[in-house]
Amino acid sequence: MSLPIPGEQVRGSKTGKPIMALLDLLGRTWALGIVWQLSQGSATFRQLQQRCEQISPSLLNTRLKELKVLQLVESTPNGYQLTLTGQGLFSVISPLGEWSLQWASQIKKDDV
């Protein structure tokens, strides 16, 4: 899959609007999950594999490459970590954690 570079065409949009590039990126399997997991501290390749329970090494590596090119993740001698930009992204999406709890309890209520 080609990289969703803001300013260029991306999967599902020809406008090049940054938000479309971002939605394309975050809409890829495990992309959000990797950012989420790395927000809890840097990790080596195999550590990250464990945090992302079911991810295959090939996909993990593919995603990491994408996230590196897009400057959300960087690799250091100590493993992978979020860049400053990546941390910025996380701070934007982190409210999802709390929101998901409300959402979950609401869906349960409606089951009854």
Partner DNA sequence: AATATCGCTACTAATATTGTAGCATTGTTA
Partner DNA sequence: TAACAATGCTACAATATTAGTAGCGATATT
State the binding string over 76-105 for a second copy (x if CB under 8 A, else -). ---------x--xx--xx-xxx-xxxxxx-
**Residues 72-111 contacting DNA, CB under 7 A:** 75, 79
**Smallest gap, in angstroms, from Cβ of residue 63 to DNA?**
8
Minimum distance, C-beta of residue 110 to a second copy, in the bound complex (Å): 7
Q: Could you give the CA distance from residue 75 to residue 112 in angstroms, rounded to a whole number?
A: 47
Tell me the closest approach of the beta carbon of residue 112 to DNA, in angstroms.
Answer: 27
Cβ nearer to a second copy, comparing 42 with 87: 87
Amino acid of residue 76: T
DSSP assignment of 50-109 equals: HHSTT--HHHHHHHHHHHHHTTSEEEETTEEEE-HHHHHHHHHHTHHHHHHHHHHHHHHH
Residue list 40-79, contact with a second copy (CB under 8 A): 52-55, 70-71
Are 4 and 24 contacting, i.e. CB atoms less than 8 angstroms apart?
A: yes
CB of 60 within 8 A of CB of 48? yes
Q: Which residues bind DNA (CB under 7 A)?
A: 1-2, 11-12, 28-30, 44-47, 54-59, 61-62, 64, 75, 79
